[in-house]
Amino acid sequence: MGSYRICVCFTRRFKGTEAAPPLDVKEAFNKYALGGTHMTADQLHRFLVEVQGGGDCISVADAQRIVEQVLHKRHHITKFKRHTLTLDDFHHYLFSPEFNPPIGTKVHQVMTAPLSHYYIYTGHNSYLTGNQLTSDCSVVPIIKALNRGVRVVELDLWSNSKEDNVHVLHGRTLTPPVELITCLESIKEHAFAASPYPVIITLEDHLTSDLQAKVAEMLTQTFGDMLFSPTSESLKEFPSPDKLKYRIIISTKPPAAKRVKKNGKRSKETKDSDEDERGKEPSDITNDQEDDDMSGTDTTDHSLDDEDNEDCAPELCPSSSSAYKRQIAIHAGKPKGSLKEALKVEADKVRRLSLSEQALEKAAELHGSDIVRFTQKNFLRIYPKGTRFNSSNYKPLIGWKYGAQMVAFNMQGYGKYLWMMDGMFRSNGGCGYVKKPDFLLSTGPDNQVFDPKTELPVTKTLKVKVYMGDGWHLDFKKTDFDLYSPPDFYTKVGIVGVPADKKKKKTKTIEDNWRPVWEEEFTFPLTVPEMALLRVEVLDYNTSEKDDFGGQTCLPVAELRQGIHAVPLFNRKGEPYNSVRLLMRFEFI
């Protein structure tokens, strides 16, 4: 464990020892090795099927391959004198995330349903490097987001000072711009680095029709055949992720035509932005805003701005941005009237509606069933409130439990809500698309839909056992936690999900040990396991100040593999540590 100097003349020495395999590991080895000192590939195969839940997915040949890989890694030999595992080899296999991860790494869900049937990994203000007011605009955060599997990228479009080019920046702030063409080229290069499934670009558009036409040219020149352009002006149903592999999809509000007043003079152009309201609470938002945020109330405001009162004959309202309009596959919009009207499902059209996080909470109180019904066919995007200047985030489960596909997050921020977002999208092989639970997509005989407020019975119980942890001595300096001794680690384990399923537990604290052994078990009854996430966090206990962070992960409960697995931990920003991991067991009752 090393020596820690307390003062000039006094040094504390701590003995470092390798932690022995847990009792459950020893018992499993003895059982499947039939009491012998070595486990064959056939015996390992039985263990993988009966304990690890491998079923028909694992063969004897797969088990043989595991044996060879473990022996090669541990003993650095390519020609094996033996083809069996000792107890230490078996323990090493179980404690290696590379060989024995807690969830699968392949796409396994049905990918042929309409796009609206999936949760989609969604970024907010994807071009910002830091806070919402003064940070640089850059392609770097866009590239990072795409490489971590994000499938929805948001760009805010503004004209440059000469009004002859298009910049991406956070409007009405001090964020220095980046050119749109640079962003588009970076998206093209990195769009499918992490996943072959479609990338959606949501545009917050503040442009004149001339610049919209310029954007259309940029999109065509950059993406070419990759760009998905619908054959009809509006789609009745959106294609599936499978059909849209390696395609780029544009989503914004279609440009409105120039309107001609009764005196024959042309009016100003309508604003076509899908802009997030900044710094306003839902009660402050009025009908003349430039986005499609809703207050969540059911009152109808029929006051219209000057343009909405103008008469316009169809033949006098040409749009110089027709090419741009044809490129918009997912139409966004700000319907007039109440939120209930905005949530109406149209038989011949699919569209996108955006709500702020507060507006969603208010809307859920009054129109919960309408939201669920709307999201069965249409897209709902939720975005952070405008006062999150530091790029913080909000609880994503509020949107998910009502079926919102695009819960938009500040990927440049970090914290427990972003950890939850990362956890959700570790599902389905990390491809960025996660099939919504069937209960959010089904309709009853009287057209009733799932009500997230309904109290449900427990349908499944998850048992979690935390055996031990290791790797901190490799990824941290010896004084990163405590100056005068090794860390005092404990693990927090909890469920994030519907209110009835939320629960937190923690292990005892193991003092002065870089390789803590806890061997503690916790039970979590679940009413909606399909929406539950298992949160794990390791902390170093301090008596006089805040406990030090030692790693975290968030895992989708529905994806957990039964049995004993190595759980890799991540830092505060969601980046994986090289070596830090826990050995845990998962069992469903």
Closest CA to 585 of 442, 450, 464, 427: 464
Strands of 460-470's sheet in order across = 503-506, 489-496, 533-540, 548-556, 563-570, 576-588, 460-470, 517-526
What are the catalytic residues?
A: 124, 170
DSSP-based three-state secondary structure for 349: coil
Q: How far apart (Å, rounded) are the C-alpha atoms in residues 514 and 486?
A: 6
By the 8 A CB rule, do 434 and 558 touch?
no
Dihedral in degrees, nearest 10, Cα atoms 409, 412, 414, 419:
50
466 in Cβ contact with 492 (< 8 Å): no
User: Do residues 205 and 254 make contact, with C-beta atoms less than 8 angstroms apart?
Assistant: no
In b/e form, how buried is each residue of 185-198, taking b as 16+ CB within 10 angstroms?
A: bbbeebbbebbbbb
Sole residue written with tokens 């390992």: 44
20: Cβ–Cβ under 8 A, 6 or more apart, which residues? none
Tokens for 237? 């149903």
DSSP code at position 542: -
Please, where are the H alpha helices in 413-491?
416-424, 472-475
Per DSSP, the three-state class of 564 is strand
Distance CA 501, CA 529 (A): 8
- Tokens (6 digits) for 197: 């499934």
